[in-house]
A and B are shown apart, each in its own frame.
Chain A
Amino acid sequence: MPSPNLNLSFVEFLMFFFIFVEKFSMKLQGKDESGNQIEVEVTPSGSMGLLAMGYRGIIIWRQARMAAGKPNLCDPEVKLVIENPIKRKTKNENE
């Protein structure tokens, strides 16, 4: 049985629900299988699910680490810069 502890619940979350990130908050909002609005809190430890989200997940994770007073182990000299982001519609938004 491979990777029994892999955060599969998060995978399923990614599969079925739209992940809404607003102002890089430390919480993810979405809907569960029943359509109920849910909110997932991000811990400073992060998760494979956050890595799999790509840059959005990493930004959220970094914010959570910062809020918890954790040092920046990646590169303390760089700051978050998102210049002129192009608002692209995701598949879910199109729907």
Chain B
Amino acid sequence: MKTNKRKVLILGWDAADWNVIMPLMDAGKMPALRKIVEGGVIGNIATLDPPLSPMLWTSIATGKRADKHGILGFVEPDVNQGGVRNVNSTSRTTRAFWNILHHEGYNQNIVGWWPSHPVEKINGTMVSNFYQRAGNKPGQAWKIPVNSIHPHTLAKNLAYIRVHPAELSDQHILPFVPNALKIDQENEASLESLTKIIADTATVHSTATYLMDNTEWDITAVYFDGIDHFSHGYMKFRAPKMPQIEETKFELYKDVVDGGYIFHDMMLETYLSMIDEDTYVIICSDHGFHSGILRPQILPKLAAAPAMEHNPLGMVCFYGPNIKKDERVYGASLLDITPTLLTILGLPVGNDMDGKVLLDIFEKLPEINYIASWDNVEGDFAEHPPHMKEDTGDSAEALQQLIELGYIEDPGEDKTKAMERAIGEQQYNLSRVYANASDIKKSIEILEKLVITAPTDIRYNTDLIAAYLLTGNTTKARHCFDVLNALPETDETKLFVNLDLLKAKILRGEHKFLAAEETLRDMLKRPNSSVGTLKELGTLYYSLANFSQSIVAFERILKVDPNNLTANYGLAKIYLINLDYEKAADFALNTIGITYFVPNAHFVLGEALYNLNLYEDALTAFEISLSMAPNFLKARMRAVEILEKHIANKEKLENHKRILKTMMKGKITIVSGLPRSGTSMMMQMLTAGGMDALTDYTRQPDSNNPKGYFEYEPVKLSAKDNSWVGEAEGKVVKVISQLLYFLPNDFEYRVIFMRRDISEILRSQQIMLGKDPSVYPTAVASVFQKELLKVEFWIKEHPNVSIKYVDYSTVISNPVGTAEEVNEFLNNQLDISTMIGAIDPTLYRNKTQPS
């Protein structure tokens, strides 16, 4: 039962975005929100993918991703009528906060939440999202949808205070469209849709205010779709004028969106006048809405295409007795609202919730309790009875079976197709949920089934390319690309796939860096080159260790999109490598501010702080990173290092060390370098010195390598299968530099990297290939130089790799000194005399002559 009397008002403003709000607040046009901002904590809130509102608002209400809550899109198969219907609350497969609070004895008003139809019989009132839309002609009866109000006895009280679009006058229209009288309303439906949005919003608001005034409540939660609808309808007309918008329409509608925000602020003022000082207020959106240069000019004719207008960052505010004043919170996600709400109320947070408690918002840290899962608690949660809870996918299939068996009438081809499309769409959305949660394997499983049903679907193929590239399967990614590329030019959906960008990404995945660069450079020459192109180019240059060009690309992005995650994170990593730790820390903090759940960004921050000798803060950053990714080996090793050398905390140290020990399977010695750089010679030295080598002697000695190659055939297939690595524990194995990147992270590698003059290497290779050694292959030399830079970069990123560079010429000129250094590097386990005996200076052919 309820143990305290805290009250909370939650206002959901779908699609609200700080980029629109801030200028309005600065101009004094959102004074109510300004009170919240100045008296509370505000921040960005990261949306989830796919950014579809019913899924997102259910994540807000449950603290869980859609794979756990079961709401998978706007529509679902209609098991009763056939065809499709708007998504229903019966499809939710986990308890929302109102179920939990009902169980705990709270009185609640839940109004308009999407989806909340049919209503659940909670303590208090629930008015569903089907309630506000007027379905009648003016002056006729406006029926209240069945199951849209609980308790239904309230219907007679609420019906009178609804607002019908036909009631609205010029007093309601002109604030949004000052020149509305110039519109030809016979041929222009824009004012009709505007009045519907205003009326729907006003009905939700009047219902909520009535309930707040006339019921005893602890929690009131009100969802508004007004800002989202104003934005989808009219954001394209907002200043700055978009090129495709006619001047006359721009002048007519440019104020609509801002008017919508101001209207919401006016409503907020009313709410603030209705609550007491002890009431907490939470205002949040589910995503933002692009309002400037990032607005798409055209939307494809694809399902859920309007979501392309959404900004991945929405807004969130907290205000109340124990909330900090005039502060910012970083790293909030939609998933955090319910855990934070439960903590405000002193209730335990479900361990199965994907979100976290936003501790930084509180003046005095509250006690946080946890429970395994609220779904396992027995008792009255005011849920729908079991017969109403249907797995829509299964039910739809059962319906189809009944149709085929002739038990019920076929609802018609269109309905059947609509139902199939709805199921497909739900599955597609689920694949994106998995991808968003980094469960790429599950995402691919779904997409591969979907693409069988629609082999040329651009969304399935595009998403598959991204997923395959993440898993390193460039062959399959290339296949999907070929499918899209072969679509006829007349296929209008093809216009919305940036094939060149996909091609560049695949080329990068295939390590064809120069071709990728060429493709992207060509794209940049075209007008309207996208942020996406710059992101890929910046990422490519980064992987090539061409940091100056990478910085140029990322900084160009930040000029138009300061909150771009890729650019901020890319710059953080580059400045870390360039040893500019302050800048690295700044950009890492930016990254975390945009999206908190990026373990790598916390690691980069930790590295920067570590190098600035800020060990406490660095340890915190590494531990946050580990809280998100417990198997993050590099962060764990750094944490151990800090606790061993700089901060005394025995308990923490032992804990990190224990975990580290279980993570590290063993040590492996690698001899690496470019082909013909002296790797075989070093293998001879080490085996002569007493080490066991992993080799199968498949490649026999020849005139180029008379003492043998010391190779192991499975190593050559590492890009596809690196399972051989376990065989190398405690041994030495030869791995050429191009294959180092495929080594798994769960081993500790000691790499002896052979260096040799590039011209010598190339001459040796030319001879080995039977080519003219006097010809100098410039392009190959360039690639090799970049490869060496790439290796250096790779090593910097891998603390589980320690490296010893050995110059081939130095081995010849200083055999003892080199052998001693190598022996020390390998913890003095080798016999120096036998090592140097393995060096044969006569094999130092193709030597560059001093000029």
Chain A residues with CB under 8 Å of chain B are 1-8, 10-12, 14-15, 19, 43-49, 51-59, 62, 65, 71-86, 88-92, 94
Contacts and interface: CB of A to CB of B under 8 A. Distances in A.
Interface in B190-205: 198, 202, 205
Contact of B267 (A4, A52, A86, A88): A52
B215 A86 contact: yes
Given A11-B31, A54-B209, A5 B178 contact: yes
B205 A51 contact: yes
B156 A81 contact: yes
Nearest to A79: B160
B164 A73 contact: yes
Interface string B169-195: 111101110100000000000000000
A14 B209 CA distance: 15
Contact of B157 (A5, A14, A77, A82): A82
11 contacts: A2-B29, A5-B174, A6-B176, A6-B259, A46-B168, A48-B171, A48-B172, A52-B205, A54-B205, A72-B139, A74-B142
A58 B225 CA distance: 20
Interface in B580-603: none
B24 A2 contact: yes
A47 B172 contact: yes
Contact of A91 (B139, B174, B273): B273
Contacts, number: 163
Contacts of B164: 73-75
A12 B142 CA distance: 34
B206 A55 contact: yes
A41 B233 CA distance: 33
Contacts of B141: 75-77
Given A2-B259, A55-B210, A73-B167, A78 B159 contact: yes
Q: Give the 8 A-B residue pairs with the shortest CB-CB distance, closest first.
A: A54-B209, A2-B258, A52-B266, A6-B175, A3-B259, A75-B142, A55-B210, A78-B159
A85 B215 CA distance: 8
Contacts of B263: 6, 48, 51-52
A54 B139 contact: no
A3 B262 contact: yes
A82 B273 contact: no
Chain A binding site: helix, strand, loop or mixed by DSSP?
Answer: loop
B275 A73 contact: no
Contacts of B262: 2-3, 6, 8, 11
Contacts of A46: 167-169, 171-172
A54 B269 CA distance: 11
Given A48-B171, A74-B142, A62 B160 contact: yes
Interface string B800-832: 000000000000000000000000000000000
Nearest to B179: A5
A65 B265 CA distance: 26
B305 interface: no
B273 A73 contact: no
Contacts of A7: 171, 175
B255 interface: yes
Contacts of A3: 29, 175-176, 178, 255, 258-259, 262
A20 to B, nearest CB: 12
Interface in B247-296: 254-255, 257-259, 262-263, 265-267, 269-270, 272-277
A55 B211 CA distance: 9
A75 B161 CA distance: 10
A54 B206 contact: yes
A95 to B, nearest CB: 10
Interface string B202-223: 1001111110111110000000
A1 B254 CA distance: 9
Contacts of A74: 134, 142, 162-164, 166-167
B499 to A, nearest CB: 39
Contacts of A58: 161, 163, 202, 206
